[in-house]
């Protein structure tokens, strides 16, 4: 199925939103709960499947929904269709600070492999499925588990990432990356992991035990602030019992010990 040709506009800097413009009869498919606002004339419907195969039977839809549940996403996707007589707009936003990346799938070979929670929305006709990681080590230590998302088609897809997004072009090259910093890569890229140096570097270097290795020819998208890193910082400064953060508690505890020592 040929993808619908949608227009779009991205607003914001650190908390971006993409506003997709639909001609009469056009549809955009999005993750459940991603919509922010929509103009009069647009109607939405939750469906099992992305609608890329119009002749897909019930069994195929159920199988596709079961595969999506493995990624931790909702088994339903929301289809937004312009039933009006003029162009109308619908907007989608990422669930945490970062960037919305517009990707023309035709320019990267028609396929993008991305982290399992990166997909935001896409033009109807885009196939949204899962990609199993083949290597045992990558599944356990690659940061995204055994399952990634695969987007296929000839239209626009929108994914989101934390912080700033960097696009790297590899020409039979090799790139080593923090496992959480990978947003996605095109089909010509091979994904593997390797140790982050010697034992001392692995345990005390602050870069984790493993690094991701990307090899081949194609496009790689990286993020500077993975959600896991953001969550760790938030939890580290979250108030504990008594309304103090972990850092404040450790500082006050240390001061208390010093004062007790002086009073002895």
Please report, in angstroms and rounded to a whole number, the separation of the first and last CA atoms in the chain. Answer: 80
Q: What is the pLDDT of residues 234-263, one digit of tens each?
A: 777 777 655 655 555 554 455 455 455 555
Q: What is the mean pLDDT of residues 122-149?
A: 67
- Give the pLDDT of residue 183: 92
The pTM of this model reads 0.75
User: Given the DSSP bridges, would you call strands 7-11 and 182-186 parallel, antiparallel or unpaired?
Assistant: unpaired
Q: What is the mean pLDDT of residues 24-40?
A: 93
- Give the pLDDT of residue 142: 45
**% residues pLDDT > 70 (the chain):** 69
The helix (run of H) or strand (run of E) holding residue 235 is helix 227-236
- Give the pLDDT of residue 187: 87
Query: What residue ranges do the domains of the chain occupy?
Result: 7-225, 233-263
**% residues pLDDT > 90 (the chain):** 41
Q: Give the SS3 label for residue 231.
A: helix
Q: What is the mean pLDDT of residues 87-116?
A: 92
Q: What is the mean pLDDT of residues 138-157?
A: 71
Beta bridge partners of 176: 213
Q: Give the SS3 label for residue 105.
A: helix
7-225 is classed in which CATH architecture? 4-Layer Sandwich (3.60)
Contacts 24+ apart (CB under 8 A), 234-238: none
Per-residue pLDDT band for 15 (boundaries 50, 70, 90) equals confident
H-helix segments, the chain: 58-70, 136-141, 199-204, 227-236, 246-263
Per-residue pLDDT band for 39 (boundaries 50, 70, 90) equals very high
Residue 109 pLDDT > 80: yes
Structure token digits, residue 228: 């896991």
Q: Give the SS3 label for residue 55.
A: coil
- Give the pLDDT of residue 53: 61
- Give the pLDDT of residue 131: 78
Judged on CB neighbours under 10 Å (0-12, 13-18, 19+), 99 is buried
Structure token digits, residue 144: 């995204």
Highest mean pLDDT among 45-54, 72-81, 86-95, 204-213: 86-95
Q: What is the pLDDT of residues 158-194, one digit of tens each?
A: 999 998 899 999 999 999 888 788 899 998 898 887 7
CA 172/CA 179 separation, integer angstroms: 20
Structure token digits, residue 121: 């929305």
**Nearest CA to 30 among 167, 156, 187?**
156
């Amino acid at each position: 199925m040929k993808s619908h040709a949608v227009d779009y506009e991205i607003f914001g800097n650190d908390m971006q939103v993409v506003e997709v413009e639909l001609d009469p009869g056009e549809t955009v498919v999005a993750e459940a709960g991603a919509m922010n606002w929509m103009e009069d004339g647009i109607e939405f419907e939750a469906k099992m499947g992305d609608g890329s195969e119009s002749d897909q039977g019930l069994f195929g839809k159920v199988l596709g929904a079961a595969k999506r549940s493995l990624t931790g996403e909702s088994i339903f996707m929301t289809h937004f269709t312009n039933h009006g007589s003029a162009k109308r707009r619908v907007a989608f936003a990422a669930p945490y600070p970062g960037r919305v990346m517009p990707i023309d799938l035709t320019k990267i070979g028609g396929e993008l492999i991305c982290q399992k929670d990166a997909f935001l929305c896409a033009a109807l006709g885009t196939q949204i499925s899962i990609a199993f990681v083949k290597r045992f080590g990558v599944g356990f230590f690659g940061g995204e588990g055994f399952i990634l998302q695969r987007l296929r088609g000839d239209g626009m897809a929108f994914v989101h990432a934390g912080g700033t997004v960097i696009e790297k072009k590899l020409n039979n090259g090799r790139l080593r990356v923090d496992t959480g910093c990978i947003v996605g890569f095109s089909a010509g890229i091979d994904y593997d992991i390797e140790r982050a140096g010697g034992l001392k570097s692995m345990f005390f270097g602050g870069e984790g035990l493993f690094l991701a290795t990307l090899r081949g020819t194609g496009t790689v998208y990286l993020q500077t602030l993975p959600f896991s890193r953001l969550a760790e910082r938030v939890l580290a400064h979250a108030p504990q019992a008594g309304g103090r953060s972990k850092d404040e508690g450790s500082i006050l505890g240390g001061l208390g010990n010093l004062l007790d020592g002086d009073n002895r």
